[in-house]
Amino acid sequence: MSFAPLVEPAAELTIDEVRRYSRHLIIPDVGMSGQKRLKNAKVLVIGAGGLGSPALLYLAAAGVGTLGIAEFDTVDESNLQRQVIHGVSDIDKPKGQSARESIAEINPYVDVVLHPERLDNDNVLQVFEGYDLIVDGTDNFATRYMVNDAAFFLGIPYVWGSIYRFDGQASVFAPMLGDDLPCYRCLYPEPPPPGMVPSCAEGGVLGVLCASIGAIQVNEAIKLLTGIGDPIAGKLMIYDALEMEYRKLKVRKDPNCALCGEHATVTELIDYDAFCGAVSDEAAEAAVGSTISVTTLEHMLKERENGERDFVLVDVREPNEAEINHIPGAVLIPKGEFLNGNALSQLPSDKQIVMHCKSGVRSAETLAIVKGAGYADAVHVGGGVVAWVSQIDPSQPTY
Ligand SMILES: [Zn+2]
């Protein structure tokens, strides 16, 4: 599917710019009008790290007129294996500043805007405001969901990429450009159980993989800005560097998506750290294939009401937390009771056990205990009561 260009053309290119961009200008699809659109474009790159480095270098070289860089970190020696926008003399320098100096060396016609603060719920909307397109090179799930939600609320399309060891993924999330186009939550409604997916800092990444995926992101950005080609909105690119294999999968819009679906329940920024959590290895292992969404739980509770199924829903939080908000029909058995072994005698042996806590961290830990005691079909609720309140019952308070 092709789209209208995201950006109107600038009034003109200077003689210097015409000389500089001549290899673009002689491509009929780009031409003078495409290059003027790039000149007028405002693109925000999140992170000047593994993906941000090649993305910024090529966006700058391509002639994108305004490049925002959202980056709060400083250059470390271990970055230089892949973050090619930085050099030895940049070590200990803020990455944004280092990136700006490299960009000035490549293309002095680019206006660089630094956003040196860590993106959070308090600043993300202001930082994003005014950009035509976002290129997301973040490396953690909490920020990815925040970027997705904030971009959606502001109506800004974005190009997403992720890398780990020899594997990369990329897509364009732009539900605002077409009714059938998905967002990141349509593809990944829930973050993986905390601790399940190691970061590049824990698991490593092949340096050149950043270029492979970063290049796809820039490619898609240029197509979207200038309106050429067929951007990968609604598609997921999967790259396997060891097999040297690219696959393109269709990503459907989820009509029940919590953000871009017909009955959206995420209508403002949420607590992304709580949503993504952090748990032990045992808990993460127990949660694989045994994590249900709050939507599934809601469905299960209705079936239980109708007598179509039976299970015990256990809230493993503390009593004072359960006073603030709760999932109807849950019995309260705090996590400590599982740790000291008292809880198991309170559980029926012939029913499925469903556990929840605030965000899915503690319930993943109790899940490991309960599964270890022989409840093979036990599950826990991803996102916990936070997700329940945000997606199912916003009338309840959060904490
Ligand atoms: Zn969605």
289 alpha carbon – ligand 1 mean position (Å): 22
**Mean pLDDT, to the nearest integer, of 18-29?**
97
For 16-43, what is the mean pLDDT?
A: 98
Eight-class DSSP state of 389: I
- Sheet strands (E) in the chain: 42-46, 66-70, 111-115, 133-136, 158-164, 167-173, 235-240, 245-250, 291-292, 311-315, 331-332, 352-356, 379-381
* Protein residues placing their CB within 5 Å of the ion ligand 1: 183, 185-186, 257, 259-260
| Ligand 1 centroid, distance to 249 Cα (angstroms) | 16
What confidence tens digit (pLDDT) does each residue in 46-92 have?
999 999 999 999 999 999 999 999 999 999 999 999 999 999 999 99
pLDDT band at 195 (very low <50, low <70, confident <90, very high): very low
CA of 181 to the centre of ligand 1 (A): 8
Say what percent of the chain tops pLDDT 90. Answer: 82
**333 C-alpha to ligand 1 centroid (Å):** 34
Tracing tokens 């067929």 back to the chain, one arrives at 230
Please, which pLDDT band fits residue 180 given cuts at 50, 70 and 90?
very high
The torsion angles phi and psi of 42, rounded to 5 degrees, stand at: -120, 110
pLDDT at position 300, please?
A: 97
Q: CB–CB of 190/272 below 8 Å?
A: no
Taking residues 351-366, what's their average pLDDT? 91
Reference 62, options 54, 74, 72; nearest CA is 54
Q: What is the pTM of this model?
A: 0.72
Residue 164 CA to ligand 1 center (angstroms) comes to: 24
Average pLDDT over residues 162-180: 96
* Average pLDDT along the chain: 93
183-197, 342-356, 384-398: segment of lowest average pLDDT: 183-197
pLDDT band of residue 274 (cuts 50, 70, 90) is confident
Determine the average pLDDT of the residues in 172-179.
97
Catalytic residue numbers, as ranges: 200, 357
pLDDT bracket for residue 276 (50, 70, 90):
confident
On whether the CB atoms of residues 159 and 172 are closer than 8 A, the answer is yes
**Res. 198: pLDDT tops 60:** no
3-class DSSP state of 377: coil
pLDDT tier at 273 (50, 70, 90 boundaries)? confident
DSSP characters over 58-104: HHHHHT-SEEEEE---B--GGGTTT-TT--GGGTTSBHHHHHHHHHH
SS3 of residue 125 by DSSP: helix
pLDDT per position as a tens digit, 299-331: 999 999 999 999 999 999 888 889 889 999 999
Interval between CA 259 and ligand 1 midpoint (Å): 5
Give dist(CA 265, CA 394) in Å, integer.
8
Distance from the alpha carbon of residue 155 to the mean position of ligand 1, in angstroms: 13
What digits encode the pLDDT tens for the residues 80-132? 999 999 999 999 999 999 999 999 999 999 999 999 999 999 999 999 999 99
pLDDT category of residue 397 using cuts at 50, 70 and 90? confident
Query: 262 C-alpha to center of ligand 1: Å?
Result: 10
